[in-house]
Every structure is written in structure tokens, then in C-alpha cells.
Amino acid sequence: MKFDHLKDLPKAESLLAMEILWQSLSQNPTEDLTPPWHQQVLAARLERLQSGQENCLPWDQAKERLRTLTRQTPSH
């Protein structure tokens, strides 16, 4: 299935296509769309966090760290 043509649709048609897709996806909200490997990755990360191998930053500190890193990175 190819979707390359979607980027060329007029805005009104793009919004209509998005609405149709959203309605289709939201009809069965209990359906699990997450692949099993996502759960495996999350479980491994939680285990590392709980064992002390990893640590977390508060969101404000994480945002500031990202801002600092992006200011230091040369632009392309």
C-alpha cells in the first residue's frame, strides 16, 4: 500500500482523510496497538530503574539538559 500521494492532497482533503482514520482507530479503543516488544523494552527499562542501574531526571531538568545539548550541537 502506498501513501505518497497523501502529502499532495489539498488541506481540506487531508483533514478529511485524517478524520476518517481517527474515527476508524477510535472505534475500538481497547484494541492493543502496541507491539509486544514495546512492553519488553519498557519492562527492561523499569527493571534497570528499580535496581539503581538507571536514574531519572525531573522533567524540568531533562528539558534544560536537552536545550543545552541542542545549543552545543552545530546546525546542519
- Residue ranges covered by each domain of the chain: 36-71
In terms of residues, how long is the chain? Answer: 76
For residue 74, pLDDT over 70 is answered with no
- The stretch 47-62 carries a mean pLDDT of 94
Flag whether pLDDT at 76 surpasses 60. no
pLDDT on residue 34: 82
Given this model, what pLDDT does residue 57 score? 92
Residue 51 CB partners (closer than 8 Å, separation 6+): none
Average pLDDT, the chain: 89
Residue 59 confidence class, pLDDT cut points 50, 70, 90? very high
- Which of 34, 37, 56 has the alpha carbon at shortest distance from 46? 56
User: Mean of the pLDDT values across residues 30-51?
Assistant: 90
* Gap between the Cα atoms of 12 and 20, Å rounded: 12
